[in-house]
Amino acid sequence: MPSTPPAMLVTTAIIGSMVLIRCSSPVGKTLRFATDGSVSPDNPRADHTWTWGHRNSQGLAMLPNGAVVNTEHGQWMFQSNEINLLQANEDHSYPYYVTG
């Protein structure tokens, strides 16, 4: 995650139609906000979307080198759980690609 300006990341899960992941809806995405809640000026898009194509993100962590990872659980017990390295403007391909 870029270190300047300060920002906050929020994950969202899919609800209802998976088609929403690909549109302006916030579902299935990692959203990045400036500390005042506005769109961070160095976001890759003109909205809060930082990454998309997620099913159910359950956690975020920043590694010592500044990289951000998330965890996601899939629909089949241990077969589709993921740990993803998140990078700005990246599509994580759900529902078109599922590991397992």
Examine the pLDDT at 1 and tell me if it is beyond 50.
Answer: no
Gap between the terminal Cα atoms of the chain: 28
Residues 28-80 have pLDDT tens digits of: 889 999 999 999 988 998 999 999 888 888 889 999 998 999 998 766 666 67
Residue 82 within any structural domain of the chain? yes
Amino acid letter, 86: L
Residue 100 within any structural domain of the chain? no
pLDDT at position 19 is 58
By residue range, what is the domain housing residue 58?
7-91
pLDDT at position 76 is 64
Residue 98 within any structural domain of the chain? no
Number of domain units in the chain: 1
Residue 2 within any structural domain of the chain? no
The pLDDT of 73-97, averaged and rounded, is 78
Q: How far apart are CA 98 and CA 26, in angstroms?
A: 20
